[in-house]
Amino acid sequence: MSVFEQLAPVFAQILLTFALLGWMRALRYRASATRTVRVRDIALGQPAWPARATQIDRAFHNQLELPILYYVLVTLILVTHTADWPLSALSWAFVASRYAHAFVHTTSNVVPRRFALFVVGATLLVIMWAIFALRISWVY
């Protein structure tokens, strides 16, 4: 398995994160440019952004929470040379769950559906960590 094959889902996850960042930035810029929000209203992190900008902001920040554990895991998998197709498939499934979560978050924002997708992603990540931990215990 090539390094690119191992990192392709990571690149897809990073693409999602940057896309949400760009979207959030555009909405915030528009709110500032139209004076819907003034700098003094948000200078200390006050919740003065329009609802849509806040919704995209939260979707963006969600990509900085659970995926941190994913990035650490992929790094450890690369360093220990324990990558294989089952972990790759789980990795793609995790990233797909993050895309689905972001889609729900940025569209209907139905919280039970969004939470279910979060649980799917978290469960996939736990399975990946368990597989990695077992492999490391056998190898080292």
CATH number, position 53: 1.20.120.550
pTM, full prediction: 0.92
* H or E stretch covering 128: helix 111-139
Which residues in the chain come in under a pLDDT of 70?
46, 139-140
Q: Could you tell me the residue range of the domain that residue 78 belongs to?
A: 3-139
Residue-level pLDDT at 49: 86
Give the phi and the psi of residue 26 in degrees, each rounded to 5. Answer: -65, -45
User: For the chain, how many structural domains are there in total?
Assistant: 1
Residue-level pLDDT at 135: 92
56-90: per-residue pLDDT in tens? 999 999 999 999 999 999 999 999 999 999 999 99
Sort 137 into a burial class: Cβ within 10 Å, 0-12 / 13-18 / 19+: exposed
- State the alpha helices, DSSP H only, in 63-110: 66-80, 85-106
Residue-level pLDDT at 1: 79
DSSP state of 46: -
Two structure tokens written together for 123:
């469960």
CA distance 40 to 130: 47
